[in-house]
Amino acid sequence: MSEPVREPRNIILVGPMAAGKSRIGRELAQRCGLRLVDADAEIEREAGASIAAIFEREGEAGFRRRERAMLADLLMLDGVVLATGGGAVLDAGTRALLPGRGFVVHLHASPATQLARAAGDTARPLLQQPDPSAVLRALAAERDPLYAAVAQLRIDTDGLAPSEVCARILDGLPTSQRSGDGA
């Protein structure tokens, strides 16, 4: 008799830049006994260059190609908290994969919160514009419906400590995903 097919036990974090995906992902992975995988860090490792350098050298289209390929690989993992980049949902193929590969959590942050959190961060190429607030508002208008389409849970991170966001995620997880024992 074959073993029953088990759903992947992953938690996938989507949302805009500076919503806390990497920071919250670290704490969430520790609490759940899972391994954190940060998609942007993996792209940088594979490319041997920062996201900003990739954007400068290859443009946004080149970065998005790298991101799509990396996410296709990372979404095959099991037992991870996957922190995606803010634009991961732009690719229709990635959006189709996300819900089937884990429990998807949309970490939301307002443009004002994003700007405050990313102040002085030159590693975010999309904010290196004369009016970064307008850029964030435009990105939110484009991407928020895409995050909503793939997520099973939405948490507004404005004004919350990472531990509070983690607690809310844990409260919203299916019971089988709350600990590292798979129970």
Please write the tens of the pLDDT for every residue from 84-110: 999 999 999 899 989 999 999 999 999
Report the pLDDT value the prediction gives residue 79, as an integer from 0 to 100.
Answer: 94
Backbone angles phi, psi at 66, to 5 degrees: -60, -45
Q: What is the 3 state secondary structure string of the chain?
A: CCCCCCCCCCEEEECCCCCCHHHHHHHHHHHHCCEEEEHHHHHHHHHCCCHHHHHHHHHHHHHHHHHHHHHHHHCCCCCEEEECCCCHHHCHHHHHHHHHHCEEEEEECCHHHHHHHHCCCCCCHHHCCCCHHHHHHHHHHHHHHHHHHHCCEEEECCCCCHHHHHHHHHHHCCHHHCCCCCC
∠ CA 96-65-50, nearest 5°, is 120
CA torsion, points 91, 93, 94, 95, in degrees to nearest 10?
Answer: 90
Across 14-42, average pLDDT: 95
Nearest to 154 by CA among 92, 93, 106: 106
Question: Residue 177: pLDDT band by 50, 70, 90 thresholds?
Answer: low
Q: What is the pTM of this model?
A: 0.89
C-alpha to C-alpha distances, 94 to 142, 159, 177, nearest whole angstrom = 16, 30, 22
Q: Do residues 82 and 12 lie in contact, with contact meaning Cβ atoms separated by under 8 Å?
A: yes
Say if residue 5's pLDDT is above 70.
Answer: no
Say if residue 39's pLDDT is above 90.
Answer: yes
Q: State the first-to-last Cα distance of the chain, in angstroms, to the nearest integer.
A: 22
Q: Which amino acid is present at 142? A: E
